[in-house]
Amino acid sequence: MTKVAVSPWAEVAADLVAVAAGRAPADVVVRGGAWVNVHSREVIDGTDLAIRHGRFAYCGPDASRMIGEGTQVIDAGGRYMVPGLCDGHMHVESGMLTLSQFVRAVLPHGTTTMFVDPHEVANVLGLAGVRLMHDEAMAQPVNVFVQMPSCCPSAPGLETPGAEIGPADVAEAMHWPGIVGLGEMMNYPGVVAGDPKMLAEIAVTQAAGKTVGGHYASPDLTDFPAYAAGGPADDHEGTREEDAIMRVRQGMRAMLRLGSAWYDVAAQITAVTEKGLDPRNFILCTDDCHSGTLVHDGHMNRVVRHAIDCGLDPLVAIQMATINTATHFGLERELGSIAPGRRADLILTSDLRTLPIETVIARGRVVAEAGGCLAELPGFAWPETARRSVRLGRTLAPQDFDIPAPEGAARVRARVIGVVENQAPTRALEAELAVEAGLVAMDRGADIAQIALVERHRGTGGVQNGFVSGFGYAADCAVASTVAHDSHHMIVVGTSKADMAAAANRLGEVGGVTVWKDGAEIGLVRLPIAGLMSDAPAEEVAEAAAGIVAAMAECGCRLNNAYMQHSLLALVVIPSLRISDLGLIDVDRFERTDLLLPV
């Protein structure tokens, strides 16, 4: 007779059964709570939960016989027991934090699962950087799954990143234990056109049985069915009700985001609240949250509260931030609900509408309480190679930001990037500008500042110049950042070329974000890791980031979360007009375009 080996999971399952049957004591019992059941969409009062090996063994009316001498008993006191919240799409780097510090910041807000796409670090450090993020994710006391970045560069031929990712890299990563799928497929024109590289990355992901993330940023939905046919299974780029409807009609999940600067839930949630579409095909996410939002406002709890304020039933909103997300990634049997066998991730809260996060339990352990993180986080150290990524190649001068005018011209017409508050897309504007001493001049009175993209990966010393409107800068100033989605060169916006040069050179020394006014630095966030992240505590980074916001306001900026708008000005896959290391990019046509127009 052949002897069958017993798997570790079989042993765990046997213990869960023994606890549920009352034959063995639980490790933890949570008593007397109101069970928010996202499978049946109901609240069941007077429920006990028994936990063993970090998983739910029993969910029912009385777990008293499962309490042994060593069992930890937690009194829920009638509070709601909500599954730990899941963020279905996010970028850790946008918080300016390492993953460990990000986890430390969001645990008190009830986030126990994150699906992260490290395409920011991939654009700087390549596959090695993704592996570092993956390894740090695997060491966390909560669930952090990694999506392998798909588009590095995001738009081939329109930008030059610090590293590239291809189908062979994607195929290799599919074997890593923490990889859950392919990150957002931003090159939507490539998918629609049948680009072999993009389709190959999708194919190796699907062959591994994993989920392909989407990113269709065009406001024109004509090509969307062709994009859906290519394989992306979700999309977070919708900004209108018709966007959400189109996505779910094509068999995709609509991810509705509320980040630090993206307010896209209210416009799309009406597809559920008014049009009556099936809410199980909708997922809430953050996409991008900076450290200040995490420390002061919250994370997924903030998104759930916002969706409820937009008219969504609280139980449906919780489903969109728990079981819907888990199901989408094929993890419904692992997480996303309070049910036997699932990872014991839950929140205790006294109100489902305002959702105060009073106690957080992850894998059966209390990890946060009363706004404080109690979890022991790994001491993961990023190597020195990741801390030396800003290479300008030379010291920049004010003259590097000159824009020569056509010979003999007194005025010119120029394309101008128009910032849109609280949204990722920009407008493609035009303006008539004066010529002074043979150079095209900014127009501070018309809110037209200068923007420059400084190459920072290979030390070429290259600078591409253009114009931007919408920040409202009224002083002699400059804002520079080595966070420049997605290629992460350096973006410099300013009204003073001297300050622009000073700001760029400063970041050549330290990496991060700096604000200069009247020749002096008035704000700085140091981001030593890949020029994107800090391993300092979230509170320290948030304080420095708040200083950046205040410094931008001191220069005249009144935009909400203007830094996030600044950091996206080089994102050449979201319409309409962007700047890259190769020049000005018309994203509507997906091609380079001239800065100056015929008069």
- Residue 415 belongs to some domain of the structure: yes
- What domain range is 457 assigned to? 385-597
Q: By CB neighbour count within 10 A (0-12 exposed, 13-18 middle, 19+ buried), where does 221 fall?
A: middle
Average pLDDT rounded to a whole number, residues 421-441: 94
Asked if residue 525 has pLDDT above 90, the reply is yes
Q: Is residue 68 included in any domain, yes or no? A: no
Instruction: Please check whether residues 360 and 438 belong to one and the same domain.
Output: no
Domain count, the chain: 2
Question: Model confidence over 333-343: pLDDT tens digits?
Answer: 999 999 999 99
- Show which of 308, 339, 370 is a domain's final residue: 370
Q: Per the domain annotation, does 379 fall within a domain?
A: no
Q: 228 and 159: one domain? A: yes
Question: What own/partner pairs with CB < 8 Å and gap ≥ 24 does 224-228 have?
Answer: 224/250, 225/250, 226/191, 226/192, 227/188, 227/191, 227/192, 228/252
Q: Is 376 part of a structural domain of the chain?
A: no
Q: Which two tokens stand for residue 225?
A: 């069915």
| pLDDT given for residue 423 in this prediction | 81
Q: Encode pLDDT of 84-125 as tens digits.
A: 999 999 999 999 999 999 999 999 999 999 999 999 999 999
How many Å apart are CA 254 and CA 243, to the nearest integer?
A: 8
pTM value surpassing 0.85: yes
Q: Is 273 in the same domain as 155? A: yes
* Per-residue pLDDT band at 349 (split at 50, 70, 90): very high
pLDDT at 424: 80
Same-domain pairing of 308 and 445: no
Please check whether residues 405 and 359 belong to one and the same domain. no
49 belongs to a structural domain: no
The pLDDT value recorded for residue 260 is 84
346 or 559: which leads in pLDDT: 346
pLDDT at 267: 97
Region of residue 408 (left: phi > 0; alpha: psi -120 to 50; beta: else): left
Domain containing 256 — which CATH number?
3.20.20.140
**Same domain, yes or no, for 234 and 301?**
yes
- Please state, for a pLDDT cut of 90, what percent of the chain lies above it: 91
Residue 464 pairs with which residues in a beta bridge?
453
Average pLDDT over residues 532-555: 94
Mark whether 361 and 499 lie in a shared domain.
no
pLDDT in tens, 238-287: 999 999 999 999 999 999 999 987 899 999 999 999 999 999 999 999 99
Q: What is the pLDDT of residues 15-65, one digit of tens each?
A: 999 999 999 999 999 999 999 999 999 999 999 999 999 999 999 999 999
Residue by residue, DSSP assigns 50-76 as: EEETTEEEEEES--GGG--TT-EEEE-
Give percent of the chain with pLDDT exceeding 70.
99
User: pLDDT digits over 152-187, tens only?
Assistant: 998 889 999 999 999 999 999 999 999 999 999 999
Dist CA 468 CA 566 (whole Å): 10
| 572 touches 491 (CB < 8 A) | no
What mean pLDDT is reported for the chain? 96
What's the average model confidence in pLDDT over 216-235? Answer: 96
Q: Which of 327, 344, 370 is the endpoint of a domain? A: 370
Are 571 and 524 members of one domain?
yes
3-state helix, strand, coil in the chain (%, to 5): 30, 30, 40
358 and 396 housed in the same domain = no
Per-residue pLDDT at 2 exceeds 60: no
Q: Same domain, yes or no, for 299 and 429?
A: no
Is residue 58 situated within a structural domain?
no
